[in-house]
Amino acid sequence: MNKKDINLARVVLLGLIMGLSSQLCSQCPSLIWFDEFNGTKLDVSKWTYQIGDGCDIGLCQWGNNELQWYTSSEENLLLSGGTMKIVARKQTVQNRNYTSARIRSIQKGDIKYGRIEARMKLPFGQGIWPAFWMLPSEDVYGGWPQSGEIDIMEYLGHEPSTIHGTLHFGQTWPNNSSTTKSFTLAEGNFYNSFHDYALEWSEYEIKWYIDGYLYSSKAISDMGNQRWPFDQKFHFLFNLAVGGTWPGIPNATTVFPQIFEIDYIRVYDKTGQAHLSGPARVPSRAKNVVYALSNVLPGSVITWNVPEGTTFKNGQGSDSINLDWGSTGGKVMAVIKSSCGEKIFVLAVAVEPELVSSVVLENFDQESRIRNTFNTGILVDQVDNPNTNSINGSKKCGQYTRNPSQQYDVLVYEISDVKNASEFVTGFKRIYIDILTSAPVGTSLILQFENKNQASANYPVGRHSRYTTVTTKQNEWERLSFSFLDRPSNTVPDEAVDQLIFLFASNSFTGFTFYFDNLEIYAVNTVPVFENNQFTGLNIFPNPAYDQLNIISPPGNPFNQLEIMDFTGRTVKLQATGGTTEYGLSISGLDNGLYFIRIKLTNGIEISRPFIKQTQ
């Protein structure tokens, strides 16, 4: 018996013992279905291969313009060393130029509700698309997506630090709907090490976790007026696609073979297990930042570890801590020892650089840069400031009163200052606002970027991205910033946002009044100290860049090293060039956003230049 078998046996035995002992221990989850992938062959009592390109079932290229042919060959799926490896290869079978594998548990592992966990290491590269997902075992409500789809983990190989959790539902294509949220690691990527991916599925809500951190929650209210189809049995799928509409096709930078490695899948009967929450990104020198553990069993022993450079203000041994951050990030870790065993939770936190105001959109004292086009409630421009303080001493401000008969009340503006919406997604830019309201502390405000032409269709079509903040004061001005929430739709290009939506106290039937002022775009105040603007003749193109950044230095000025840094100053790519004056640097694995390239010449001179990475 190997180490993983022993640990699993301990989990199962502990669950059995706890289940027979006390009411406290009955809160421990029981394992109801699993595969540890410990053998040398796929367990066909739990899994079935899907072969081909989908054309035999009327779903050519699997409905996504994928390029691979799925096989049952050990070249594409093998078990060794306690893990299952799905391998994508560049080889021709039938009329397809790539091979891979896809398996499903239909009629062999079908569940309705519970907690699903998988430990996985992901592949990388342009055009690489692994997924761990669920489909209904019976199409009770009709064909896809009327009966639903649950994507526990999807990932695009050219964005190696970001995963996506999504629900598909609604009407048949092209009137289908989805709701999604992404999570981006503050450091590292998903292909260098294993991570724990989990989903908790209950009657009215589905939650996504990464390494014990809750990053997304979707409920019936997120369906709008569509059916919630997630009340039937679903089965599991693992696959590694090559190409497709979403990831795009492989290019010269894509390396084959690529391996999607799965350590185990485990299904438990109980949801509501312990998890970590708190911000994964914080402003520089942020104060009183809280990280908390939820659903901790009574009697548990909790130990926290925080990065150097942070001030641990209080909370050691409790289920929440209070930190003051410095100028650098790091990992917040919590260990829980309880009657159900030991659990470790880790969250890498990024400290954002200082932001400064770059564009004033509306302050009611000068000409506005946005234009109101619609509102569900009542908007009044330039009312007297009802309660000046040190945050807002302006004489005039805006006043908006929600329509209490509208659950999703909206305030709509045209906007032309969002030139590249990816800068807001990545945090390089952020929108700030002054708010005064009688609404309770903790009231949610949502800001939504849209393309007005596309957004005439039902949500989420045309909605590029959403940002959120919550009030912390009542009847007093406060300065709030909107943090990235999710990408409802991938159909809006970063440069096509022309509409701004505010949802005050969304998903409520309330008539609160919100005074607002000083709506501004802030940008990162980043000027690398090593920038050398005196060096001429250096050509870096294209900008914005997509898959490759080209660097050409003038004759007689060869360079031997290229370094790419994100806007926080973190090195994300380092490349030796061997003393050349021309080089094409692959950037397909970088997230969209602002970067700086540092070029080190052979004579020791260092030059840096900014560039934007975006998807073509």
Q: 554 and 408, same structural domain? A: no
> 608: domain CATH number?
2.60.40.1220
Q: 222 and 117, same structural domain? A: yes
> 80: domain CATH number?
2.60.120.200
pLDDT at residue 256 greater than cutoff 90: yes
Rounded distance between C-alpha atoms, residue 224 and residue 459, angstroms:
8
In the chain, the amino acid numbered 405 is S
Q: 149 and 250, same structural domain? A: yes
Rounded distance between C-alpha atoms, residue 16 and residue 36, angstroms:
19
Task: Exactly one of 66, 117, 154, 423 is catalytic; name it.
Answer: 154
Rounded distance between C-alpha atoms, residue 298 and residue 24, angstroms:
8
Structural domain range at position 146 = 34-268
Q: 567 and 470, same structural domain? A: no
**172 class by beta-carbon count within 10 Å (0-12 exposed, 13-18 middle, 19+ buried):** exposed
Our count of domains for the chain comes to 4
Residue 559 in contact with residue 601, Cβ under 8 Å?
yes
Residue 302 in contact with residue 334, Cβ under 8 Å?
yes
pLDDT at residue 255 greater than cutoff 50: yes
Report, as an integer, the average pLDDT of 226-245: 96
Q: 381 and 520, same structural domain? A: yes
Please report where in the chains the tokens 């001005």 appear, as a residue.
477
Q: How much is the pLDDT for 596?
A: 84
Instruction: Please state which of the ranges 142-146, 210-214, 311-315, 355-359 shows the lowest mean pLDDT.
Output: 355-359
137 occurs within a structural domain: yes
pLDDT at residue 13 greater than cutoff 50: no
Residue 258 in contact with residue 299, Cβ under 8 Å?
no
Q: How much is the pLDDT for 427?
A: 75
pLDDT at residue 181 greater than cutoff 50: yes
Instruction: Give the pLDDT confidence of 508-527 residue by residue, as tens digits.
Output: 999 999 999 999 999 876 54
Catalytic residue check, 66 = no
Angle at 132 between CA 142 and CA 150, to 5 degrees: 35
Judged by DSSP in three states, 154 sits in strand
Question: Last residue of some domain: 500, 524, 548?
Answer: 524
Most confidently modeled of 10-19, 266-275, 573-582?
Answer: 266-275
> 327: domain CATH number?
2.60.40.10
**192 class by beta-carbon count within 10 Å (0-12 exposed, 13-18 middle, 19+ buried):** exposed
Report, as an integer, the average pLDDT of 248-265: 92
Rounded distance between C-alpha atoms, residue 155 and residue 317, angstroms:
36
Rounded distance between C-alpha atoms, residue 100 and residue 111, angstroms:
26
pLDDT at residue 478 greater than cutoff 90: yes
State which H helix or E strand residue 553 sits in.
none
Instruction: Please state which of the ranges 41-45, 113-117, 220-224 shows the lowest mean pLDDT.
Output: 220-224
Q: 363 and 505, same structural domain? A: yes
Q: 359 and 423, same structural domain? A: yes
Q: What are phi and psi of 128, to 5 degrees?
A: -100, 130
Report the chain's mean pLDDT, rounded to a whole number: 89
194 occurs within a structural domain: yes
532 occurs within a structural domain: no
Instruction: Give the pLDDT confidence of 355-384 residue by residue, as tens digits.
Output: 788 899 999 988 999 999 999 999 999 999
Q: 544 and 486, same structural domain? A: no
Most confidently modeled of 100-114, 147-161, 219-233, 318-332?
Answer: 100-114
Residue 600 in contact with residue 561, Cβ under 8 Å?
yes
Dihedral sign (CA 556, 561, 563, 569): negative
Question: Last residue of some domain: 326, 352, 378?
Answer: 352
Residue 439 region by backbone torsions, left for phi larger than 0, else alpha for psi between -120 and 50, else beta: beta
14 occurs within a structural domain: no
Q: How much is the pLDDT for 532?
A: 56
Q: pLDDT higher for 79 or 178?
A: 79
Instruction: Please state which of the ranges 238-252, 375-389, 428-442, 544-558 shows the lowest mean pLDDT.
Output: 544-558
Rounded distance between C-alpha atoms, residue 296 and residue 11, angstroms:
18
Q: How much is the pLDDT for 18?
A: 36
Instruction: Please state which of the ranges 43-47, 154-158, 400-404, 499-503 shows the lowest mean pLDDT.
Output: 154-158
Alpha carbon distances (Å) from 502 to 402, 408, 469, 542, 577: 11, 10, 11, 35, 48
Q: pLDDT higher for 251 or 504?
A: 504
Report, as an integer, the average pLDDT of 387-400: 94
pLDDT at residue 528 greater than cutoff 50: no
Q: pLDDT higher for 134 or 458?
A: 134
Please report where in the chains the tokens 């009592």 appear, as a residue.
45
Structure confidence at residue 278 as a pLDDT band (50, 70, 90): very high
Task: Exactly one of 149, 159, 261, 450 is catalytic; name it.
Answer: 149
20 occurs within a structural domain: no
Q: How much is the pLDDT for 19?
A: 37
504 occurs within a structural domain: yes
Q: Which residues of 314-347 are buried (b: 16+ CB within 10 A; e: fewer)?
A: ebeeebbbbbebbebbbebbbebebbbeebebbb
Q: 454 and 373, same structural domain? A: yes
Q: How much is the pLDDT for 216?
A: 93
Q: 258 and 345, same structural domain? A: no
Instruction: Give the pLDDT confidence of 530-552 residue by residue, as tens digits.
Output: 455 567 778 888 877 878 899 99
pLDDT at residue 20 greater than cutoff 60: no
Q: How much is the pLDDT for 616?
A: 54
29 occurs within a structural domain: no
Q: pLDDT higher for 18 or 243?
A: 243
For the chain, the straight-line distance linking the first and the last C-alpha, in angstroms and rounded, comes to 50
Alpha carbon distances (Å) from 142 to 146, 147, 296, 581: 5, 6, 40, 60
Report, as an integer, the average pLDDT of 483-511: 91
Q: pLDDT higher for 569 or 436?
A: 436
Q: How much is the pLDDT for 22?
A: 36
Q: How much is the pLDDT for 451?
A: 96
Structure confidence at residue 225 as a pLDDT band (50, 70, 90): confident
Residue 228 region by backbone torsions, left for phi larger than 0, else alpha for psi between -120 and 50, else beta: beta
Alpha carbon distances (Å) from 226 to 139, 146, 485, 507: 16, 9, 22, 15
Q: What is the DSSP string of 574-592?
A: EEEEEEESEEEEE-TTSPS
pLDDT at residue 212 greater than cutoff 70: yes
Q: Which residues contact 240 (CB under 8 A, 6 or more apart)?
A: 68, 86, 87, 88, 100, 101, 102, 123, 128, 129, 130, 131, 258, 260
Q: What are phi and psi of 25, to 5 degrees?
A: -75, -15
What pairing do the DSSP bridges indicate for beta strands 444-450 and 499-504? antiparallel
Question: Last residue of some domain: 524, 559, 579?
Answer: 524
Strand partners, 80: 83
What pairing do the DSSP bridges indicate for beta strands 275-277 and 289-294? antiparallel
Q: 494 and 398, same structural domain? A: yes
Catalytic residue check, 149 = yes
> 394: domain CATH number?
2.60.120.430
Q: Which residues contact 604 (CB under 8 A, 6 or more apart)?
A: none
Most confidently modeled of 171-185, 298-312, 547-561?
Answer: 298-312
Q: Which residues contact 457 (CB under 8 A, 6 or more apart)?
A: none
443 occurs within a structural domain: yes
Q: What is the DSSP string of 399-466?
A: EEE--TT-TT--EEEEE---S-THHHHTTSEEEEEEEEESSPTT-EEEEEEE-TTGGGSSTTTTEEEE
Q: 144 and 222, same structural domain? A: yes
Instruction: Give the pLDDT confidence of 21-69 residue by residue, as tens digits.
Output: 333 445 789 999 999 999 999 999 999 999 999 999 999 999 999 999 9
Instruction: Please state which of the ranges 104-108, 392-396, 400-404, 612-616 shows the lowest mean pLDDT.
Output: 612-616
